[in-house]
Structure 1
Amino acid sequence: MPSSLIHQSLPLFWFKMDTLPHTHRPTIAIVEDEADLRLNLELFLRSCGYPAWSVGSAEALYKHLVTRPTQIIIVDIGLPGEDGFSLIEHLAAANRYGLIAMTARGATADRIQGLKRGADLYFVKPVDLYELEAGIESVLRRLNQISRRRGEDQPDPWVLDLFDSSLHAPNGEAVALTAREIELLAYLMSRPGEIIGKEDLLLHLSGSTAMDDFHRIETLLYRLRKKAEQTLGLGLPVRSVFGRGLSFIGPAHIKRL
């Protein structure tokens, strides 16, 4: 039986069942909108001894990452709502995940875009599952090397210092913030990983729930992203979740007065 990932359900006996669960295996998340593919891939990874879970959209991933610590994320590019390229870029900014793109889009331009956005590997469907497993092991080695260099298992958090009005990135760089930028970040970073709705943000930041005013928050965030990229050399891990609101997805700490 070939090990290519195909677009129909596969019999459960096809997966290799001789591999017993391993301890200290990284948890893998799958973001794939086609249910059969998602299930087959999750079953295969579990048969290889990896704790695995799966969702059908970027929005669902952001929600579950709050309560499901995950080391490697496999991302389909053609997702509903926020697409896979955007999701990979956002996750790469958090500097804590191994990222694997898996898609039917095999054009050279798409491959280049995926890798530039932050994917460690880019697989074109149909994917040989044992090649995917080897790729996961390769990404895991990279993550372990980074962890050893840091001398710790957890990534450094983003720190919002309310005393000196600054944001400190995991790479040690800092950027000064305005009062409005602090207000926005403090609210998002107080609830890391949670999707904060537009009405909630509007009410907290402006005392209004008029959706016409949300563009002011988007403008503020746009300028803050640019400032962070230019000053810190890292992308700000604040994600616009399609149709919902905003989420701070990196590890966060607020240093209060």
Structure 2
Amino acid sequence: MPRILLVEDDDSVRISLAKALGRYGHEVDAAPTGEQGLRMYRERAPELVVLDLMLPEIDGFEVCRRVRAAGNVPVIMLTARGDDTDIVGGLEAGADDYVVKPVEPRVMDARIKAVLRRGTPAPTEQPSTASFRDLIIDRASMTVTKAGREVALTPTELRLLLELSESPGRVLTRQQLLESVWDHSYLGDSRLVDNGVQRLRAKIETDTTAPVFIQTVRGFGYRFGPV
């Protein structure tokens, strides 16, 4: 049973969503403020955080940054509107996905399950270990090392790297990546992909201004190199 931390200051939303997610089989801890959310995060060690952005005391952006700095637990942010500033700010703070309120519990359950699945390797005929210069990807153990040091990746970052590296040299569109990594079967938000690539590059590239492993194909998407 996945342990979820829900941080939401609206009492009615927090209580109803926590109960609904419980019916879907999640174990939910709920906090009304950012400060309490961070305390529960340290005490309860959740597998995923659902985080409202507009919180008292410490806002959701700062909570997300602190959660991300502490480890690789995935974060789904809740935003009251499809505001570009909120969405971009949340993604830049380290969120893996976002849902615009009001959200139906079944939709939130689907987003949670999709994020948690990213830590599970997809079936592949690829060798379990592949080396690309000083980057080693072990699909069996789900570990990545760079210059001999293990790289700490979130489930989303790991899934993105596995997807891109499965066929080096092949160009994948943002929509293809949204479907295979984020499980968005509809025309989703390409900012999820671009932000995910940016965060992944920061961890595996020696020089993010001249990326070697994740190359942008302008007007199309991304490909994995070197080839």
CA distance in 1, matches of 2:74, 2:13: 20
CA contact (8 A) 2:79 2:87 kept: no
Q: SS in structure 2 opposite 1:85?
A: helix
Shift of 1:126: 1.0
Q: Which amino acid aligns with 2:39?
A: K
Q: Which amino acid aligns with 1:87?
A: V
* Partner in structure 2 of residue 86 of structure 1: 62
Count matched residues. 135
* Partner in structure 1 of residue 90 of structure 2: 114
* Partner in structure 2 of residue 56 of structure 1: 32
CA contact (8 A) 1:33 1:56 kept: yes
Higher relative contact order (CA 8 A, sep 6+): 1
| Matching residue within 122, 141, 157 for 1:151 | 141
* Partner in structure 1 of residue 71 of structure 2: 95
* Partner in structure 2 of residue 171 of structure 1: 151
In the alignment, structure 2 segments of 5+ residues that lack a partner are: 123-137, 143-148, 153-201, 205-227
CA contact (8 A) 1:98 1:120 kept: yes
Identity among equivalent positions (%) equals 31
Confirm whether residue 45 of structure 1 aligns to residue 25 of structure 2. no
Q: SS in structure 2 opposite 1:66?
A: helix
Q: SS in structure 2 opposite 1:28?
A: strand
In the alignment, structure 1 segments of 5+ residues that lack a partner are: 1-24, 153-168, 173-231, 235-257
CA distance in 2, matches of 1:150, 1:59: 38
Shift of 1:149: 5.0
**Highest CA radius of gyration, 1 or 2?**
1
* TM-score normalised by length of structure 1: 0.47
CA distance in 2, matches of 1:128, 1:113: 23
Confirm whether residue 134 of structure 1 aligns to residue 110 of structure 2. yes
CA contact (8 A) 2:49 2:75 kept: yes
Could you say if the C-alpha distance between residues 170 and 35 of structure 1 is closer, same or farther in structure 2, counting changes exceeding 3 Å?
farther
CA contact (8 A) 1:98 1:143 kept: no
Could you say if the C-alpha distance between residues 137 and 60 of structure 1 is closer, same or farther in structure 2, counting changes exceeding 3 Å?
same
Q: Which amino acid aligns with 2:66?
A: H
Q: Which amino acid aligns with 1:127?
A: V
CA distance in 1, matches of 2:50, 2:7: 6
Q: Which amino acid aligns with 1:91?
A: V
Q: SS in structure 1 opposite 2:43?
A: coil
RMSD: 2.8
* Partner in structure 1 of residue 162 of structure 2: none
Could you say if the C-alpha distance between residues 91 and 144 of structure 1 is closer, same or farther in structure 2, counting changes exceeding 3 Å?
farther
Shift of 1:30: 0.4
